[in-house]
Amino acid sequence: MNFSLLEPHLFRNAHLFAPEERGMCDLLVAGGKIIAIEQAGADIALPDCPISDLNGATVCPGFIDQHVHLIGGGGEAGPHTRTPEVRLSKLVAAGITSVVGLLGTDGVTRHPESLLAKTRALEYEGISAWMLTGAYGLPSPTLTGSVEKDVALIDKVIGVKCAISDHRSSAPTSAQLATMAAQSRVGGLLGTKAGISVFHMGNSPRELEPVYDILHHADVPITKLLPTHVNRAQSLFLAALRFAREGGYIDITSSIDEPIDPASAIMTAREGDVPSSRVTLSSDGNGSQPHFDANGNLIGIGVAGFESLLETVQKLVKQHHLPLEEALLPLTRNVAEFLGFGHKGRLSPGCDADFIVLDEELRIQEVWAKGKQMVRDGKACVKGTFEE
């Protein structure tokens, strides 16, 4: 059943992972928020409150995907290779209840204005959505003419993105990168946002050198700089582990299988003395997956999906024998803390009622976003405005 956002709803007998394991619990939801969590059997029902018995099914926080090409990406082989906009049903079917959109290689035919419109559309359609200003190149394309103003004044903008150590970047100087990161940081302070800088990492031998240049020439905290796609090259991944041990966050891409698959990357980080709280996981969903030869010529292109997020969790639990509560951290609590979302990434009174119901095989059965059911029996039951 699909209930109103404002109507109280009691969920009984949930095996709760918040993401820490809480045992058998009952959850009371109302107004899109979690109102109460008690041990199963507690008397917390309200008069005429709908009740759903989950019969011991696993319940965990909804996934936060902080790297999605909401209005499409690609274009590396011409206009016909521009990927389409993401559909709401694709996101929720993968367990995503919060998303951060961004631009990619194409900052010419894709614009921050269109990304902002898509971000607001997804919020209207039922999930939580934010965006990063900027694209691969510098100076950053922005909405207001300034990274600092975008982050400070536009509610949905929480930081900036650019590309480094990649043949598709604009070869930014250390000074340009430091200025961009500092502007995002100050904009975050003024707008009570995270004020982060996200760096698309390519295969260049320079690896994280541009990020360290920022730390050496500016006073931006290391916790505000996020290299992503760090599992795309062995040497880059080793450099990323060092960065995380020094206090930074690193983002592993679930849609990259080689040379290091995401589950193995997470386990290697754990075994390499990287604090588990410093590792996040994102999909790069709806972005293009170009393949280049040694001379930089495009030899193939695909589109990244979203299923790899849950598949990574399943692999961590079933193949690497990691407890579920720890396997969930990179796409729930860790990413919420990095993004400054105190109301996301965990199941606790006062938090948004974003949660997933999983079966014994860790397959998605239900998804609820802000107290509204989005997935029933493993299939999206709410679709975007123009979806058939």
Amino acid sitting at position 300 = G
Six-digit token string for 347? 């199941």
Strand partners, 94: none
288 three-state secondary structure = strand
Q: Give 49: exposed, middle or buried? Use CB within 10 Å, 0-12, 13-18, 19+.
A: middle
Helices (H), 296-360: 308-318, 324-327, 333-339
Nearest by Cα to 57 from 343, 370, 324, 353: 324
Beta-carbon contacts of residue 98 (< 8 Å; ≥ 6 apart): 62, 63, 64, 65, 127, 128, 129, 130, 341, 344, 354
User: Which residues are tagged catalytic?
Assistant: 284
Residue type, 171: A
Q: Is 298 left (phi over 0), alpha (psi -120 to 50) or beta?
A: beta
Residue found under tokens 């982060």? 196
Neighbouring residues of 21: CB distance < 8 A, sequence distance ≥ 6: 323, 324, 325
Give CA–CA dist 255/230, Å, rounded.
12
Rg (CA), the chain: 20
Give Cβ neighbours of residue 232 (< 8 Å, ≥ 6 apart).
Answer: 201, 202, 203, 253, 256, 259
Question: Residue 81, class by beta-carbon neighbours within 10 Å (0-12 exposed, 13-18 middle, 19+ buried)?
Answer: middle
Tokens 């400054």 label which residue? 340
